[in-house]
Amino acid sequence: MSCFTNVSYGISHIFLMLFMYLFVAHRYSNVVTALLCGISFVLLCVMDCFKLILYSEIGICYVIVTIMQIIVTQSTAILISRKRNVQVLFVGLSASSYVIAGSISSVILKIWTHSDIWALAGGVSIHLAILLLLSLKIRGICLKFQEKKYMQACWGLCLIPVFFYCSFSFIAFFPHTLHENTDNIPGVIFFLITMFVSYIVVLRYLESESKKSAMHWKNMILESYVKGLENQFCLVERAEKNLKILHHDVKHYSRIMDSLLEQKKYDEMKKVIDHINDVAMENKVKKYCDNLVVNTILAHMMEQASTYGVKVLLDVAVSKDIPVSDYEVTIVIANLLENALECVQNQEEDKRWIEAKIHCRSDYLLLQTKNEYRGEMQLDSGTGLPDSKKKGNHGLGMQSALAFSEKIGGSIVCCTDEGIFELVVFAKF
């Protein structure tokens, strides 16, 4: 019996490492990741020898070694993962719950068939079927889920696989096994079905919420874009009206110029020319960069800044064609400028200023904002971003910038120094 249990556990560890390999986004190359999983597999098997063979009669040994195996397993998931966040812990804990289903299946088949070979073969088949099913159904969702570092309440999600794992362990293995209490088999089978249905439903729900969130940001982009177009249209309309007036008054300016020329009053003539130039420049539609979408949003944000009496020092260099989505980078720019405006709009006049550097070329992206702030600003220890104490949708702009930075493989850094807040988003393509 101990030999069957040891082999069954070894098979489970193989599939556990396969789950880790397939369902966790790799930090290292495939070879290195496979090597790390192999080392973890050997450690788990060695620990099995302690709790199943050498000290099988000592209950506390079983508990202690099992806890150590859990630590090794979850550490492996965190070690090989590219993100190393709460979502990865959730995936690692879920993998343990998936695998325990195959282990229980082997035990049930052993009880029904009284054959070690059939039980182990059936267990391998069920392990493989579960692996293939979940790879087809939720692997893509799990990999995307790990990318969302800014998602909230993920610690609560981790309780789901923890309670499933503990429930299975106490029902099927410890302190009494299914061999000793076969009446639990029907309940365990339905509990397994409940677990898989629950996981699929939860992950599908998370995917749905992610799509809703993406749609929300897309709508915000379009709304800002439309507002920017409306502002530009108003500016063009106003400029056209003023230039028509200027055009109408040209004949009067011409007479004045002729009169001043006859009187040789050249200084006065220069003043008239300067006045005409000033009127023309005032009605010139501002072009901040060659990218239409970014230029439109900047026009909208500069109009807002003017309304609040905020001085914005812009350094913009954005090409017409850029290697990232025009709309995604635009909403990040809009969010960063909007946050800066909100921070300074109610301050004293000499403190209502923003410095912004917006560069996007074929080889790099640089977004930098700098402004003064009042009070105390705390940076989140996990993300390094300002920790908003306001309720509702406050802080979502920073989360959007973080998500965008991670998507393009960039970095985002915030710092505070003597009342000056600075944020930098940088990515090299």
Q: What is the CATH number of the domain that holds 298?
A: 3.30.565.10
pLDDT bucket at 284, cuts 50 / 70 / 90: low
Given a cut of 90, whether residue 355 has pLDDT beyond it is: yes
Number of independent structural domains in the chain? 2
Residue 266 covered by a domain: no
Rounded Cα–Cα distance for residues 148 and 152 (Å): 9
User: How far apart are the two ends of the chain, measured CA to CA in Å?
Assistant: 58
Residue 242 has a pLDDT of: 64
% of the chain with per-residue pLDDT over 70: 78
Residue 110 covered by a domain: yes
Rounded Cα–Cα distance for residues 128 and 292 (Å): 52
Residue 154 covered by a domain: yes
Given a cut of 60, whether residue 123 has pLDDT beyond it is: yes
Given a cut of 90, whether residue 5 has pLDDT beyond it is: no
DSSP class per residue in 62-111: HHHHHHHHHHHHHHHHHHHBSS-SHHHHHHHHHHHHHHHHHHHHHHHHHH
Condensed to tens digits (0 to 9), the pLDDT of residues 155-198 reads 677 777 777 777 777 777 666 677 777 777 777 777 777 777 77
Q: Please tell me whether residues 195 and 335 are part of one structural domain.
A: no
Q: Please tell me whether residues 167 and 294 are part of one structural domain.
A: no
pTM for this prediction: 0.54
Q: List beta partners, residue 317.
A: 359
Given a cut of 50, whether residue 140 has pLDDT beyond it is: yes
Q: Please tell me whether residues 312 and 192 are part of one structural domain.
A: no
Given a cut of 90, whether residue 320 has pLDDT beyond it is: no
Rounded to the nearest integer, the mean pLDDT of the chain is: 79
Angle value at C-alpha 290, between 286 and 294, nearest 5 degrees: 80
Between 308 and 160, residue with greater pLDDT: 308
Asked if residue 159 lies in contact with residue 41, where contact means CB atoms within 8 angstroms, the answer is: no
Q: Please tell me whether residues 189 and 310 are part of one structural domain.
A: no
Rounded Cα–Cα distance for residues 411 and 425 (Å): 6
Q: How far is CA 5 from CA 19, 59, 114, 366, in A?
A: 21, 16, 13, 57
Residue 237 has a pLDDT of: 67
Between 150 and 124, residue with greater pLDDT: 124
Residue 393 has a pLDDT of: 41
Between 215 and 138, residue with greater pLDDT: 138
Q: Which residues contact 108 (CB under 8 A, 6 or more apart)?
A: 178, 185, 188, 189
Q: Please tell me whether residues 153 and 292 are part of one structural domain.
A: no
**Residue that terminates a domain, selected from 207, 226, 250:** 207
Q: Which residues contact 147 (CB under 8 A, 6 or more apart)?
A: 25, 83, 406, 407
Residue 242 covered by a domain: no
Q: Please tell me whether residues 33 and 159 are part of one structural domain.
A: yes
**Residue that terminates a domain, selected from 207, 240, 269:** 207
Residue 367 has a pLDDT of: 93
Output the 3-class SS for 344-382: HCCCCHHHCEEEEEEEECCCEEEEEEEEECCCCCCECCC
Q: Please tell me whether residues 64 and 173 are part of one structural domain.
A: yes
Q: Which of 412, 409, 401, 411 is nearest to 429 (CA)?
A: 409
Residue 233 has a pLDDT of: 65
Residue with tokens 């990232």: 324
- Helix (H/G/I), strand (E/B), else coil: 198: helix
Q: Please tell me whether residues 309 and 190 are part of one structural domain.
A: no
Angle value at C-alpha 126, between 71 and 188, nearest 5 degrees: 70
Average pLDDT, integer, range 86-104? 82
Q: Please tell me whether residues 32 and 173 are part of one structural domain.
A: yes
Residue 24 covered by a domain: yes
Q: List beta partners, residue 334.
A: none
**Residue that terminates a domain, selected from 160, 175, 207:** 207
Residue 349 has a pLDDT of: 85
Asked if residue 426 lies in contact with residue 364, where contact means CB atoms within 8 angstroms, the answer is: yes
Residue 394 has a pLDDT of: 41
pLDDT bucket at 153, cuts 50 / 70 / 90: very low
Asked if residue 34 lies in contact with residue 21, where contact means CB atoms within 8 angstroms, the answer is: yes
Chain centroid to CA 4: 44
Residue 354 has a pLDDT of: 93
pLDDT bucket at 357, cuts 50 / 70 / 90: very high
Q: Which of 387, 287, 394, 397 is nearest to 331 (CA)?
A: 397
Q: Please tell me whether residues 304 and 199 are part of one structural domain.
A: no
- Beta 364-372 vs 311-318: how paired, if at all? unpaired
Residue 256 covered by a domain: no
Residue 83 covered by a domain: yes
Residue 238 covered by a domain: no
Average pLDDT, integer, range 285-295? 79
Average pLDDT, integer, range 254-283? 72
Q: List the domain range (segments joined by +) for residue 39.
A: 2-207
Residue 365 has a pLDDT of: 92
Q: Please tell me whether residues 38 and 153 are part of one structural domain.
A: yes
Instruction: List strand residue ranges (DSSP E) for 220-374, in order.
Output: 311-318, 353-360, 364-372
pLDDT bucket at 247, cuts 50 / 70 / 90: low
Residue 1 has a pLDDT of: 47
Condensed to tens digits (0 to 9), the pLDDT of residues 23-54 reads 888 888 889 999 999 999 999 888 888 777 77
